[in-house]
Structure formats: C-alpha cells, structure tokens
Copies of this chain bind each other. A is one copy, B any other.
Amino acid sequence: MHRFEVRVRYADIDQMGWVYYANYLRWFEIGRAEMLRSLGTTYRDVERGGTLLPVLEAHCRYHEGARYDERVVIETGVAELHRASVRFGYRIVRENDGELLANGSTLHCFLGREGRAGRPPEALQKLLEAAPRAEAGSGV
C-alpha cells in the first residue's frame, strides 16, 4: 500500500487526549490524495479534467487512539475497482511501533462535468488499475 506520514497536531486531539474520531476521515483524504500523486497525477488535476470523486460511503474501525505529536503512517490502496466506482482501503499505523490504530475504506463514484455519475476517463481508469492494492482486510 502507499505510505504517507503525518504528525498529530493539538487541533486534532479531543478531551480524552486522543485524536477526535472524525479526523481519521481527514487522514483518509490525505492518503488517497498522496497515493494519486505517487501515481503521477493529482486530485486537483482530476477535478480540473472534469471528474469529481464524491464520497458515497465512509467506514472506519478504531483500534487504538493516536496521541499528540505522534507520527502516524497513512497506508492507502485500491480495495475495489468497479465500472462506475472505486473503493479505497486505508490503514492508520503508529510510526514508531507499527501498531494498527485504525482501518477503513471510502467508496467514490466518478461524477462528470454534467453532474452525471458514470465511468471514469480512460486515463484515470488506467491509473487506478495500476495503483497499489489495499491489503485484504484493510478496508471495512
């Protein structure tokens, strides 16, 4: 899976001292953006090319909390690639000991300029076919 490191910030933490649960979805966004970049495009360019990837579903399982100033690795891969949708799988891993903190997935459709969902442009299709696969069981 593609790996990208981020650091936990004060703004991310809640009163229990752990990262607030919605912020993992923000990390998922960073993971898929950086995976696209590693494949030679950017989500910005995909959007400029006329295709949006709105989220249809998001799932997350929380195993252990991340704490302030820790470094975590966002692992991202393609879990399922269908004609008109793609599911990304994610693992959030603590950098210093490899502990799995959370895993999950997001499902996206391909939305064209005219606001209709359908198949992605061929270039994007090929890119997603060539993307790292999500490990079995990484998604939810």
Q: Which partner residue on chain B sits nearest A34 by CB separation?
A: B7
Among the 9-residue stretches A11-19, A80-88, A125-133, the one with 4 or more Cβ atoms under 8 Å from chain B is: A11-19
Give a binary string over A86-122; 1 marks a CB under 8 Å from any B CB, 0 the rest: 0000000000000000000010000000000000000
- Size of the A side of the interface (Cβ < 8 Å), in residues, is 36
List A residues 59-79 near B (Cβ within 8 Å): 59-62, 65, 68-69
How long is the Cα–Cα vector from A38 to B43 in the complex, in angstroms?
32
From B16, B25, B55, B61, A25 is in contact (CB under 8 Å) with B25
Chain B residues, CB < 8 A from A9: 26, 29-30, 33
Given contacts A13-B14, A23-B22, A43-B69, contact A56 B52 (CB under 8 A): no
How long is the Cα–Cα vector from A42 to B9 in the complex, in angstroms?
12
Cβ of A137 under 8 Å from chain B: no
Chain B residues, CB < 8 A from A23: 22
Chain A contacts to B: CB under 8 angstroms: 9-11, 13-18, 20-23, 25-26, 29-30, 33, 42-44, 52, 54-62, 65, 68-69, 106, 140
* A-B complex: 4 closest residue pairs judged by Cβ atoms: A22-B25, A44-B69, A13-B15, A22-B22
